[in-house]
Amino acid sequence: MAAPGIELILAPLRGVTGLRFRQAFVAHLRGLDRAVAPFIATVQGPRVKPETLRGIDPAAQPAGLPLIPQVIGKDPAQLRVMLGAMRALGYADVDLNAGCPWPFVAKKGRGAGLLRDEAALGAMLEAGCDALGPGHFSLKVRLGLDDATLLPKRLPLIQSFPLRELCVHPRTARQMYEGTVDLEAFARVAEACRLPLVYNGDIRTLGDFLRLSARFPAVRRWMLGRGLVANPFLAESIRAGEDTRDLARFRAWHADLLERYAADAPGDHALLGHLKELWAYLAPTFRDGQRLWDALKLTRTRAEFERVLALSPLRWA
Protein backbone atom coordinates (compact mmCIF):
# COMPACT_ATOMS: atom_id res chain seq x y z
CA MET A 1 0.00 0.00 0.00
CA ALA A 2 1.29 3.42 -0.90
CA ALA A 3 1.37 6.26 1.55
CA PRO A 4 1.20 4.32 4.82
CA GLY A 5 0.54 6.33 7.95
CA ILE A 6 -1.16 9.16 6.19
CA GLU A 7 -4.73 10.36 6.58
CA LEU A 8 -6.91 11.29 3.62
CA ILE A 9 -9.70 13.69 4.47
CA LEU A 10 -12.70 14.67 2.36
CA ALA A 11 -12.86 18.46 2.06
CA PRO A 12 -16.03 20.37 2.83
CA LEU A 13 -17.55 21.65 -0.43
CA ARG A 14 -20.88 23.24 0.31
CA GLY A 15 -23.53 21.93 -2.09
CA VAL A 16 -21.21 19.15 -3.31
CA THR A 17 -19.72 16.93 -0.57
CA GLY A 18 -22.83 16.90 1.60
CA LEU A 19 -24.64 13.97 3.17
CA ARG A 20 -25.74 12.29 -0.08
CA PHE A 21 -22.29 12.49 -1.62
CA ARG A 22 -20.74 10.95 1.49
CA GLN A 23 -23.33 8.17 1.64
CA ALA A 24 -22.84 7.20 -2.01
CA PHE A 25 -19.07 7.42 -1.64
CA VAL A 26 -18.99 4.95 1.24
CA ALA A 27 -21.37 2.59 -0.56
CA HIS A 28 -19.09 2.28 -3.62
CA LEU A 29 -15.62 3.68 -3.02
CA ARG A 30 -12.80 3.61 -0.51
CA GLY A 31 -9.69 5.44 0.59
CA LEU A 32 -10.96 8.27 2.79
CA ASP A 33 -10.29 8.24 6.53
CA ARG A 34 -12.69 10.99 7.51
CA ALA A 35 -14.65 13.95 6.22
CA VAL A 36 -15.18 17.55 7.23
CA ALA A 37 -18.78 18.59 6.61
CA PRO A 38 -19.63 21.77 4.68
CA PHE A 39 -20.02 24.74 7.00
CA ILE A 40 -23.03 25.47 9.15
CA ALA A 41 -23.45 29.13 10.10
CA THR A 42 -23.83 30.16 13.72
CA VAL A 43 -27.30 31.41 14.63
CA GLN A 44 -28.72 34.04 16.93
CA GLY A 45 -30.53 32.96 20.05
CA PRO A 46 -30.17 30.05 22.42
CA ARG A 47 -31.40 27.24 20.15
CA VAL A 48 -30.39 25.68 16.84
CA LYS A 49 -33.25 24.35 14.71
CA PRO A 50 -32.98 20.66 13.83
CA GLU A 51 -33.24 21.53 10.08
CA THR A 52 -30.00 23.52 10.40
CA LEU A 53 -28.23 20.33 11.50
CA ARG A 54 -29.90 17.93 9.05
CA GLY A 55 -26.74 17.39 6.98
CA ILE A 56 -24.87 16.16 10.05
CA ASP A 57 -27.70 14.07 11.56
CA PRO A 58 -25.67 11.19 13.04
CA ALA A 59 -28.37 8.64 12.22
CA ALA A 60 -27.94 9.35 8.49
CA GLN A 61 -24.14 9.37 8.36
CA PRO A 62 -22.51 6.43 6.60
CA ALA A 63 -20.51 4.13 8.86
CA GLY A 64 -16.82 4.07 8.08
CA LEU A 65 -16.39 7.76 7.30
CA PRO A 66 -16.11 9.66 10.60
CA LEU A 67 -17.46 13.18 10.21
CA ILE A 68 -16.27 16.45 11.67
CA PRO A 69 -18.87 19.21 11.47
CA GLN A 70 -17.70 22.70 10.53
CA VAL A 71 -18.95 26.05 11.82
CA ILE A 72 -18.69 29.48 10.25
CA GLY A 73 -19.25 32.62 12.31
CA LYS A 74 -17.54 35.34 14.31
CA ASP A 75 -19.46 35.59 17.58
CA PRO A 76 -18.05 33.45 20.42
CA ALA A 77 -21.40 33.26 22.25
CA GLN A 78 -23.12 32.03 19.08
CA LEU A 79 -20.27 29.59 18.52
CA ARG A 80 -20.83 28.12 21.97
CA VAL A 81 -24.53 27.61 21.20
CA MET A 82 -23.70 25.82 17.94
CA LEU A 83 -20.99 23.70 19.55
CA GLY A 84 -23.44 22.75 22.31
CA ALA A 85 -25.94 21.59 19.67
CA MET A 86 -23.25 19.59 17.83
CA ARG A 87 -22.04 17.99 21.05
CA ALA A 88 -25.62 17.07 21.88
CA LEU A 89 -25.67 15.14 18.59
CA GLY A 90 -22.59 13.25 19.74
CA TYR A 91 -19.81 15.14 17.93
CA ALA A 92 -16.68 15.58 20.04
CA ASP A 93 -14.67 17.38 17.33
CA VAL A 94 -15.69 20.46 15.35
CA ASP A 95 -13.84 22.60 12.82
CA LEU A 96 -13.95 26.40 12.43
CA ASN A 97 -13.99 27.92 8.96
CA ALA A 98 -11.51 30.79 8.63
CA GLY A 99 -11.00 30.29 4.93
CA CYS A 100 -14.23 31.01 3.06
CA PRO A 101 -13.16 33.63 0.49
CA TRP A 102 -16.53 34.92 -0.72
CA PRO A 103 -16.53 38.72 -0.25
CA PHE A 104 -20.04 38.76 1.27
CA VAL A 105 -18.75 36.39 3.97
CA ALA A 106 -15.20 37.70 4.46
CA LYS A 107 -16.21 41.39 4.50
CA LYS A 108 -18.43 40.64 7.49
CA GLY A 109 -15.47 39.22 9.39
CA ARG A 110 -16.46 35.59 8.91
CA GLY A 111 -14.64 32.86 6.98
CA ALA A 112 -11.30 34.22 5.75
CA GLY A 113 -12.37 37.59 7.18
CA LEU A 114 -11.80 36.18 10.67
CA LEU A 115 -8.05 36.22 9.97
CA ARG A 116 -8.12 40.01 9.67
CA ASP A 117 -9.32 40.58 13.23
CA GLU A 118 -6.83 39.09 15.67
CA ALA A 119 -9.02 39.67 18.73
CA ALA A 120 -12.08 38.09 17.12
CA LEU A 121 -10.05 35.09 15.95
CA GLY A 122 -8.57 34.64 19.41
CA ALA A 123 -11.99 34.89 21.05
CA MET A 124 -13.40 32.24 18.70
CA LEU A 125 -10.49 29.88 19.29
CA GLU A 126 -10.76 30.36 23.01
CA ALA A 127 -14.52 29.68 23.01
CA GLY A 128 -14.10 26.60 20.81
CA CYS A 129 -11.27 25.06 22.83
CA ASP A 130 -13.08 25.82 26.06
CA ALA A 131 -16.39 24.34 24.89
CA LEU A 132 -14.91 21.17 23.37
CA GLY A 133 -11.80 20.66 25.47
CA PRO A 134 -8.15 20.45 24.40
CA GLY A 135 -7.52 18.66 21.11
CA HIS A 136 -11.09 18.77 19.84
CA PHE A 137 -11.39 22.10 18.03
CA SER A 138 -9.64 22.70 14.70
CA LEU A 139 -9.19 25.52 12.22
CA LYS A 140 -9.26 25.67 8.42
CA VAL A 141 -7.58 28.71 6.88
CA ARG A 142 -6.20 30.35 3.78
CA LEU A 143 -2.87 32.15 3.64
CA GLY A 144 -4.48 35.54 4.04
CA LEU A 145 -6.88 37.93 2.39
CA ASP A 146 -4.89 39.95 -0.15
CA ASP A 147 -1.47 38.40 0.30
CA ALA A 148 0.24 35.52 2.03
CA THR A 149 1.59 37.46 5.01
CA LEU A 150 -1.46 37.27 7.28
CA LEU A 151 -1.42 33.60 8.28
CA PRO A 152 2.25 33.68 9.39
CA LYS A 153 1.37 36.74 11.51
CA ARG A 154 -1.55 34.91 13.12
CA LEU A 155 0.29 31.63 13.65
CA PRO A 156 1.63 32.45 17.16
CA LEU A 157 -1.93 33.21 18.29
CA ILE A 158 -3.38 30.14 16.54
CA GLN A 159 -0.87 27.75 18.00
CA SER A 160 -1.22 29.16 21.49
CA PHE A 161 -4.48 27.14 21.56
CA PRO A 162 -4.64 23.34 21.97
CA LEU A 163 -6.15 22.74 18.53
CA ARG A 164 -6.64 19.30 17.03
CA GLU A 165 -5.13 20.47 13.74
CA LEU A 166 -4.64 23.39 11.38
CA CYS A 167 -5.75 22.90 7.79
CA VAL A 168 -4.15 25.26 5.27
CA HIS A 169 -5.36 25.92 1.74
CA PRO A 170 -2.38 27.86 0.39
CA ARG A 171 -4.23 30.50 -1.57
CA THR A 172 -5.28 33.99 -0.53
CA ALA A 173 -8.97 34.85 -0.30
CA ARG A 174 -8.49 37.32 -3.15
CA GLN A 175 -7.42 34.45 -5.39
CA MET A 176 -10.70 32.63 -4.75
CA TYR A 177 -9.97 29.38 -6.60
CA GLU A 178 -7.86 30.96 -9.37
CA GLY A 179 -4.14 30.92 -9.99
CA THR A 180 -1.86 28.44 -8.32
CA VAL A 181 -1.35 27.30 -4.76
CA ASP A 182 1.59 29.04 -3.08
CA LEU A 183 3.80 26.16 -2.00
CA GLU A 184 6.62 28.44 -0.85
CA ALA A 185 4.24 30.13 1.57
CA PHE A 186 2.91 26.73 2.70
CA ALA A 187 6.49 25.59 3.34
CA ARG A 188 7.07 28.63 5.57
CA VAL A 189 3.90 27.90 7.53
CA ALA A 190 4.84 24.22 7.83
CA GLU A 191 8.25 25.22 9.14
CA ALA A 192 6.78 27.40 11.87
CA CYS A 193 3.73 25.31 12.73
CA ARG A 194 3.79 23.04 15.78
CA LEU A 195 0.16 21.91 15.43
CA PRO A 196 -0.70 18.85 13.33
CA LEU A 197 -0.92 20.32 9.85
CA VAL A 198 -3.29 19.41 7.03
CA TYR A 199 -2.40 20.28 3.43
CA ASN A 200 -5.34 21.13 1.18
CA GLY A 201 -5.39 22.36 -2.39
CA ASP A 202 -5.24 21.25 -6.02
CA ILE A 203 -4.52 17.55 -5.44
CA ARG A 204 -6.09 16.29 -8.66
CA THR A 205 -4.06 13.19 -9.48
CA LEU A 206 -1.96 10.53 -7.82
CA GLY A 207 1.04 12.32 -9.36
CA ASP A 208 0.07 15.59 -7.61
CA PHE A 209 -0.12 13.75 -4.31
CA LEU A 210 3.22 12.03 -4.82
CA ARG A 211 4.94 15.33 -5.69
CA LEU A 212 3.43 17.16 -2.71
CA SER A 213 4.04 14.38 -0.22
CA ALA A 214 7.66 14.14 -1.38
CA ARG A 215 8.06 17.88 -0.93
CA PHE A 216 6.37 17.91 2.51
CA PRO A 217 7.28 14.56 4.09
CA ALA A 218 6.38 15.76 7.59
CA VAL A 219 2.77 16.38 6.55
CA ARG A 220 0.67 13.30 7.34
CA ARG A 221 -2.83 14.71 6.78
CA TRP A 222 -4.07 15.49 3.29
CA MET A 223 -7.44 16.96 2.38
CA LEU A 224 -8.97 16.22 -1.03
CA GLY A 225 -11.67 18.45 -2.49
CA ARG A 226 -12.39 19.17 -6.13
CA GLY A 227 -9.87 16.57 -7.26
CA LEU A 228 -11.81 13.82 -5.50
CA VAL A 229 -15.16 15.08 -6.78
CA ALA A 230 -13.74 15.09 -10.32
CA ASN A 231 -12.25 11.63 -9.82
CA PRO A 232 -14.02 9.79 -7.00
CA PHE A 233 -11.31 7.09 -7.21
CA LEU A 234 -8.60 9.56 -6.21
CA ALA A 235 -8.32 8.53 -2.54
CA GLU A 236 -8.35 4.86 -3.51
CA SER A 237 -5.67 5.45 -6.14
CA ILE A 238 -3.48 7.29 -3.63
CA ARG A 239 -3.84 4.36 -1.24
CA ALA A 240 -3.14 1.79 -3.97
CA GLY A 241 -0.30 3.76 -5.54
CA GLU A 242 -1.91 3.24 -8.94
CA ASP A 243 -4.90 4.36 -10.95
CA THR A 244 -7.93 2.35 -9.77
CA ARG A 245 -10.56 4.03 -11.95
CA ASP A 246 -13.19 1.65 -13.22
CA LEU A 247 -16.13 2.65 -15.42
CA ALA A 248 -18.56 0.00 -14.16
CA ARG A 249 -17.99 1.08 -10.57
CA PHE A 250 -18.20 4.73 -11.62
CA ARG A 251 -21.60 4.17 -13.23
CA ALA A 252 -22.86 2.25 -10.16
CA TRP A 253 -21.68 5.03 -7.84
CA HIS A 254 -23.23 7.69 -10.05
CA ALA A 255 -26.58 5.89 -10.35
CA ASP A 256 -26.70 5.50 -6.58
CA LEU A 257 -25.85 9.17 -5.98
CA LEU A 258 -28.49 10.22 -8.51
CA GLU A 259 -31.13 8.16 -6.65
CA ARG A 260 -30.11 9.72 -3.35
CA TYR A 261 -30.31 13.25 -4.80
CA ALA A 262 -33.67 12.41 -6.38
CA ALA A 263 -35.08 11.19 -3.05
CA ASP A 264 -34.41 14.65 -1.56
CA ALA A 265 -35.20 16.83 -4.56
CA PRO A 266 -38.75 18.15 -4.89
CA GLY A 267 -38.60 17.74 -8.67
CA ASP A 268 -36.42 17.35 -11.74
CA HIS A 269 -35.38 21.00 -11.68
CA ALA A 270 -33.77 20.69 -8.23
CA LEU A 271 -32.32 17.29 -9.09
CA LEU A 272 -30.70 18.61 -12.27
CA GLY A 273 -29.26 21.51 -10.28
CA HIS A 274 -27.39 19.00 -8.08
CA LEU A 275 -26.31 16.84 -10.99
CA LYS A 276 -25.05 19.75 -13.06
CA GLU A 277 -23.05 21.10 -10.11
CA LEU A 278 -21.47 17.65 -9.78
CA TRP A 279 -20.80 17.28 -13.50
CA ALA A 280 -19.09 20.66 -13.70
CA TYR A 281 -16.33 18.85 -11.74
CA LEU A 282 -16.70 15.39 -13.27
CA ALA A 283 -16.77 16.28 -16.96
CA PRO A 284 -13.04 17.06 -17.44
CA THR A 285 -12.26 13.56 -16.11
CA PHE A 286 -13.62 12.15 -19.36
CA ARG A 287 -12.32 12.24 -22.89
CA ASP A 288 -14.57 14.61 -24.86
CA GLY A 289 -15.73 15.85 -21.46
CA GLN A 290 -16.53 19.30 -22.79
CA ARG A 291 -18.88 17.87 -25.41
CA LEU A 292 -20.54 15.66 -22.80
CA TRP A 293 -20.86 18.60 -20.40
CA ASP A 294 -22.39 20.79 -23.13
CA ALA A 295 -24.99 18.06 -23.78
CA LEU A 296 -25.74 17.51 -20.09
CA LYS A 297 -26.12 21.24 -19.47
CA LEU A 298 -28.93 21.39 -22.03
CA THR A 299 -31.00 18.64 -20.42
CA ARG A 300 -34.19 19.67 -18.65
CA THR A 301 -35.47 16.42 -17.16
CA ARG A 302 -34.02 13.49 -15.25
CA ALA A 303 -34.93 11.17 -18.15
CA GLU A 304 -33.04 13.34 -20.66
CA PHE A 305 -30.03 13.59 -18.37
CA GLU A 306 -29.89 9.83 -17.89
CA ARG A 307 -30.34 9.24 -21.63
CA VAL A 308 -27.40 11.51 -22.54
CA LEU A 309 -25.24 9.74 -20.00
CA ALA A 310 -26.31 6.24 -21.00
CA LEU A 311 -25.54 6.99 -24.67
CA SER A 312 -22.15 8.45 -23.88
CA PRO A 313 -19.27 5.95 -24.19
CA LEU A 314 -17.47 7.48 -21.15
CA ARG A 315 -13.73 7.05 -21.56
CA TRP A 316 -11.27 8.41 -19.02
CA ALA A 317 -9.36 11.46 -20.21
Name the residues that contact ligand FMN, by CB under 6 A.
11-16, 38-39, 70, 97, 99, 140, 169, 177, 200-203, 224-227
- Min. distance of Cβ 281 from ligand FMN in angstroms? 9
Q: How far is the CB of 118 from ligand FMN (least distance, A)?
A: 20
Q: Return the axis-axis angle of helices 247-264 and 302-311, rounded to nearest 10°.
A: 180
For ligand FMN, the closer of residues 23 and 301 by Cβ is: 23
Least distance (Å) from ligand FMN to the CB of residue 142?
Answer: 8
Comparing C-alpha atoms, which of 90, 101, 103, 94 is closest to residue 71?
Answer: 94
As measured in angstroms, the least distance from the Cβ of 106 to ligand FMN is: 12
- Looking at beta carbons only, is 224 or 296 nearer to ligand FMN? 224
Cα of 6 vs its chain's centroid, Å? 17
Query: Helix H segments across the chain?
Result: 19-28, 76-88, 103-106, 118-132, 150-158, 183-192, 206-215, 226-230, 234-240, 247-264, 268-282, 289-298, 302-311
Q: Which of 96, 185, 198, 190 lies closest to 143 in space, CA to CA? A: 185
Q: How far is the CB of 101 from ligand FMN (least distance, A)?
A: 8
Which of 14/251 has CB closer to ligand FMN?
14
Residue closest to ligand FMN (Cβ): 225
Tell me how far apart the alpha carbons of residues 37 and 16 are, in angstroms, rounded to a whole number: 10
Nearer to ligand FMN, 85 or 235 (CB): 235
Nearer to ligand FMN, 190 or 255 (CB): 190
Terminal CA-CA length for the chain = 25
Identity of the residue numbered 38: P
